[in-house]
Amino acid sequence: MATVVWIDPGCCRHEKKCFQCSLKFQHQVFSDFLSEAVLRYSDSHLQLLPLQKDTTNTVFYSKNKIKRGEIMKTRIFLLFAFLAISAISGGCSKKTETNTAMLDSTMLKPFKPLPEMVEADSNPITEEKIKLGRMLYFETRLSKSHKFSCNSCHSLTNYGVDNQPVSTGHKEQTGDRNSPTVYNAAGHIAQFWDGRASDVEAQAKGPILNPVEMAMPDEATVVKTLKSIPGYEEIFKKAFPDEKEPITFDNIAAAIGAFERKLVTPSRWDKFLNGDETALTDMEKKGAVKFINTGCVTCHAGAYLGGQMFQKIGLVKPWHAQNDSGRYALTKKQGDAFVFKVASLRNVEKTAPYFHDGSVDSLSQAVDMMGEYQLNKKLNAEDTEEIVAFLKTLTGELPKEYIAEPELPKDGPNTPKPVLN
């Protein structure tokens, strides 16, 4: 640990300049938000740890390990969060009264409206690619049994989920994790609960070959199958006009990725962020204030209210199930035990059951548990009700035309038959 700086839960009394003056703000943010936790950076993510005797009032920075950009980003965010908090709590008083009038632009700084699409230089979006990607999204012949497509577990007319604790794939096998929604997922820092795929293109390759999902034996079989279906050749050529042999495993993933990059669901919350004061009711505004005030915004911010960092589930109290170690299984680093991607809260009203293990059916219960496990705060019934009301404003409109199921080309004479075992 390179530098130790003080955090003062007493709020405001502490005017010492720490290793950068802006840290002054952090003290106050954390004394308001999280008087019982400290902030610590580990290699790649920031962690909030319960206060222990020897670390009381202390924030550790391991300067050598942190990328500067990340510190800066976090600082800027914390600064905004502080401004927001001071706006509602009147500077340094401990008052937490909810005043919806205060939900002004300063307080809303940690949030952003959704983009129209999530662009990437690595995979430019074209109409032709989207058209192909949409077909492949619904293509059951990308599965061994010809029974499963992406849409089986991520139903586009059902907010991109199957509403099952864990999904069922090939031969009725079940996986270990809940299927997250594909809507707005392209904008996250990484894909999967543990972030093991860097983007939606890399992600799309996973389920096709996963033995408990679509169960294709290898990439070559996937490519051979699509080549055997008359019609696909031409559609791939249009989507990838510069390529001689456009039907490749990479291009399948690129087309599906391009389609997913426009699965975006703006909601009343975006209208509100864009200046329409009437888009939210008073109750919903109160909920937004509570969401910020309680500290949910520390992790659930940005356009997706999540999806931008990895955090430990069960920060202040061990998570109720300990069988899935999250990112630890990937990195084998102790600090990554039970660390998962912070879930986006877009459409959360519709995507039950909740958490990586699908262990919780009710949104109110999920909210209460976040208070308990992440923030060491017991929310009362009114707090929960208002926060839930706010979360429901994140339910967007599904892009009906964009997700309309396309007609798929028929089998050719050499198209492999479904294999059920």
Residue with smaller CB distance to ligand HEC, 64 or 421: 421
Bridge partners, residue 3, by sequence = 61
Note if 385 is an active site residue: no
Query: Is 356 a binder of ligand HEC (CB under 6 A)?
Result: yes
**Cβ–Cβ under 8 Å, residues 20 and 71:** no
β pairing state of 310-312 and 37-41: unpaired
Phi-psi region of 85 (alpha: psi -120 to 50; beta: other; left: phi over 0): alpha
What are the helix (H) ranges across 19-93? 23-33, 68-89
Q: Which neighbouring-strand residues pair with 4?
A: 60
Give the largest Cα separation in the chain, rounded.
79
DSSP at 222: H
Q: State how far the Cα of 45 lies from the Cα of 66, in Å rounded to an integer.
A: 9
**The residue type at 128:** E
Interface region with ligand HEC, contact rule CB under 6 A, candidates 5-13, 97-105, 348-356, 400-408: 348-356
**Least spacing, CB of residue 17 vs ligand HEC, in Å:** 27
3-class secondary-structure state, position 76: helix
Residue 315 within binding range of ligand HEC, rule CB under 6 A: yes
Q: Is 303 in the site for ligand HEC (CB under 6 A)?
A: no
Cβ atoms within 10 Å of 247's Cβ, excluding its own: 20
The mark string for 197-236 relative to ligand HEC (x by CB under 6 A, - otherwise) is ---x--xx--xx----xx----------------------
Pair of tokens at residue 339: 């660390």
Question: How many residues make contact with ligand HEC (CB under 6 A)?
Answer: 51
Stretch that binds ligand HEC, among 11-19, 175-183, 267-275, 392-400 (CB under 6 A): 175-183
Residue type, position 291, single letter: F
| List 139, 213, 284, 386, catalytic entry | 213
Tokens, residue 105: 């632009």
Closest CB to ligand HEC among 86 and 374? 374
Contacting residue, 85, 215, 296, 403, with ligand HEC by CB under 6 A = 296
390 is a contact residue toward ligand HEC (CB under 6 A): no
Question: Does residue 42 bind ligand HEC (CB under 6 A)?
Answer: no
Q: How far is the CB of 49 from ligand HEC (least distance, A)?
A: 10
CB 271 within 8 A of CB 265: no
Report helix, strand or coil for 96: coil
Q: Which listed residue (303, 342, 389, 403) binds ligand HEC by CB under 6 A?
A: 342
DSSP bridge pairs for 50: 37
| Selected binder of ligand HEC within 294, 308, 376, 393 (CB under 6 A) | 294
If the CB atoms of residues 169 and 266 are measured against ligand HEC, the closer one turns out to be 169
Nearer to ligand HEC, 39 or 273 (CB): 39
Nearest alpha-carbon partner for 183 in 267, 112, 284: 267
Residue 233 Cα to chain centre, angstroms: 35
Q: Do 166 and 176 form a contact (C-beta atoms < 8 A)?
A: yes
The answer to whether residue 177 forms part of the interface with ligand HEC (CB under 6 A) is yes
Structure tokens at 174: 């079940």
How far is residue 316's CA from residue 309's CA, in Å, rounded to a whole number? Answer: 18
Using CB under 6 A as the criterion, what x/- string covers residues 49-88 for binding ligand HEC?
----------------------------------------
Q: Give the residue with the Cβ less far from ligand HEC, 92 or 190.
A: 190
Nearer to ligand HEC, 213 or 241 (CB): 213
Q: Which is nearer to ligand HEC, 176 or 241 (CB)?
A: 176
For position 179 contacting ligand HEC by CB under 6 A, the verdict is yes
In angstroms, give the least distance from the CB of 260 to ligand HEC: 6
**Residue 247 binds ligand HEC, judged by CB under 6 A:** no
Alpha helices in 11-59 (DSSP H): 23-33
Structure tokens at 93: 């008083």
Nearest of 376, 416, 385, 413 to residue 38 by alpha carbon = 376
Instruction: Name which position in 111, 148, 232, 269 contacts ligand HEC (CB under 6 A).
Output: 148
Q: With respect to ligand HEC, which residue has the nearer C-beta, 276 or 405?
A: 405
Please give the positions annotated as active site.
Answer: 213
Residues in touch with ligand HEC (CB under 6 A):
48, 148, 150, 152-154, 167, 169, 175, 177, 179-180, 182, 185, 188, 191-193, 200, 203-204, 207-208, 213-214, 256, 294-296, 298-300, 311, 313, 315, 340, 342-343, 345, 348, 351, 354-356, 366-367, 370-371, 374-375, 387
